[in-house]
Amino acid sequence: MSRIASVALLVALVAAACGDAFSNNDGASGRDGAADAASEGQLDARPVDAPIPVTVSGKVYAPEGTIPIFGALVYAVVSDPAPIPDKVFCDRCVELPQGTPNTRSSHDGAFELKLTPGTWKLVTQKGAFRRVREIVVPPAGLAVDPAITTLPQKTDATKGDTIPKMVVIQGAWDAIESSLAKLGLGQVDANGSLVAGSETFTLYRCTLTQLLPPVVDCKPRPPQDMLKDYALLSQYQILFLPCDSEWLDGVIADPTVKANLLRWIREGGRLYATDYQYDQIRTLLPDYITWQGQSGVAGSAELDSAYDAPAVVNDPDMKQWLAAQGVTTFDLQQSWTIIDSVHKVPTPSFDGKTYDVTPTVWVSGAVPGVGVKPATVSFPYGCGRVLFSSYHTEGAKSQGKSLLPQEKALLYVTLEVAVCLTLPKVN
């Protein structure tokens, strides 16, 4: 019954960027006395004797160092930005201070800024991944060393590196922890599996010791301890629930756990679940997604065997981002549920109002004998977001250290749903 899932979609998963807005915790400060530069390198008028801006260019990469990052905010200031909170928080988008030179990386990760010669703090940020490095811009301009604009692998405040606080409750059949390691958040062995102890996220190592009824042994402690204690849960910003047996169903249905998770999402948490963990989404927020075969019985939408489906990339930016890496067609491997439809639902937002929201479909799959169905979807709830994928993070053919297209897509979506929040679009 072993099943492997897809990591490419993780690269693509973590939500839409907010134009020239940035998180209110980015803390950018404009450079006093420097020539003003509006976003995307557009310059305001300046005195004749003012310093002439020159070109600063480079590329933004994922923590592993080779995958380009689309839509990363790159800006320059003269002092370090305020620290990003190290627990769950409502990350609303706000405008950069007027005159702050800034831009966003293109689909191939490239960016270009106009800066006056001198010393700057260059900030590279996608969601809660942020790197701050000092650069010296010479009169001839600067091609930035890629190490300066590669997203960090771990938090190190002394270096100016921050990553989101993530927790994974290990699944029996979807090794998302290995996919995260391939993305640079840990080390992997020759088979592409996470090297124990190398991860830069919290991992509850859960082993299925009995299938029916499901019994698990989790180290270093049962995840119920965290889920039942909001003070512990609120230390994290992203929670991954990869495919597993039904042992977690009763845990999430516990009134205290359910209330904690809903509060955590409303306050800014990002919840990501794959295939058999669809029941957790149904328990928490049941109105947004309908799965084929679902009923009031837990596990009713679980398929007895997996299927592969040709991918249909619905998000235009993801499509261009994958194409920039030479990926134009691929299969979504190891799907164990089928999303039938998504629905418009009155949804609370961070401004205290309620908006009608329909989940975003990032990727669909041409399901054999069924047709094209949503495969990766997300929706906002309060200050947080919920993400579901009907297929595993790493697919059946995911071996070694290389990433499948679906694994890259996962990275994309994970980063996108983790960026700062704008008000929902009315749909």
Residue 16: pLDDT band (50, 70, 90) is very low
Band of residue 8 on the pLDDT scale cut at 50, 70, 90: very low
Beta bridge partners, 156, equal 161
The phi-psi region of residue 207 (left if phi > 0; otherwise alpha if psi is between -120 and 50; otherwise beta) is beta
Predicted confidence (pLDDT) at residue 74 exceeds the cutoff of 50: yes
Confidence of residue 245 (pLDDT cuts 50, 70, 90): low
Cα gap 274→414, rounded to integer Å: 13
Query: Is pLDDT of 28 > 50?
Result: no
For residues 92-111, give the mean pLDDT: 94
Average pLDDT over residues 311-325: 97
How far is 337 from 375, CA to CA, in rounded Å?
9
| pLDDT 10s digits, 213-230 | 878 889 999 999 999 999
- Per-residue pLDDT band for 426 (boundaries 50, 70, 90) equals low
pLDDT at 5 over 50: no
How far is residue 204 from each of residues 131, 180, 207, 216, 368, measured CA to CA in Å? 27, 14, 10, 11, 35
Supply the pLDDT for residue 396: 52
Cα maximum dimension of the chain: 78
Look at residue 51 in the predicted model and tell me its pLDDT. 86
For residue 187, what pLDDT is reported?
95
Give me 420's structure tokens. 């700062």
Q: Which residue has the higher pLDDT, 424 or 40?
A: 424
CATH 3.40.50.880 domain locations along the chain? 164-416
Report the pLDDT value the prediction gives residue 216, as an integer from 0 to 100: 84
pLDDT in tens, 170-193: 877 788 899 899 999 999 998 888
Rg, C-alpha atoms of the chain: 22
Cis peptide before 53 (omega within 30 of 0): no
Confidence of residue 3 (pLDDT cuts 50, 70, 90): very low
For residues 101 and 80, give the distance between their C-alpha atoms in angstroms, rounded to a whole number: 15
Mean pLDDT taken over the chain: 86
Q: C-alpha angle with apex 43: 38 to 46, nearest 5 degrees?
A: 125
Which H or E run includes 281?
Answer: helix 278-284
pLDDT tens digits along 84-93: 999 999 999 8
Give DSSP secondary structure letters for 10-42: HHHH-----TTEEETTS-----TTSPPB-GGG-
pLDDT of residue 299: 86
Once rounded to an integer, what is the mean pLDDT over residues 336-353? Answer: 96
Q: Which of 107-111, 133-137, 242-246, 326-330 has the lowest mean pLDDT?
A: 242-246
For the residues 331-335, what does the mean pLDDT come to? Answer: 91
Centre a 10 Å sphere on the Cβ of residue 95 and count the other Cβ atoms it contains: 14
Identity at 103, one-letter amino acid code: T
Q: Which residue has the higher pLDDT, 264 or 29?
A: 264
Confidence of residue 418 (pLDDT cuts 50, 70, 90): confident
Among residues 167, 153, 154, the alpha carbon closest in space to that of 202 is found at: 167
Cis, peptide link before residue 316, omega less than 30° from 0? no
Q: Which fold has domain 21-156?
A: Immunoglobulin-like (2.60.40)
Q: Whole-angstrom Cα distance, residue 115 to residue 123?
A: 13
DSSP 160-227: TEE---EEEE--SS--HHHHHIIIIIS-B-TTSPBPTT--SSEEEEEEEEETTTTEEEEESS-THHHH
Within 10 Å of residue 341's Cβ, how many Cβ atoms?
11
Domain with CATH 2.60.40.10 in the chain: 21-156
Indicate if the pLDDT at residue 397 is higher than 80. no
Interval 392-412 mean pLDDT: 75
Strand partners, 241: 273
Q: Which CATH number fits domain 164-416: 3.40.50.2000, 3.40.50.880, 1.20.1250.20, 3.30.300.90?
A: 3.40.50.880
Q: pTM here?
A: 0.87
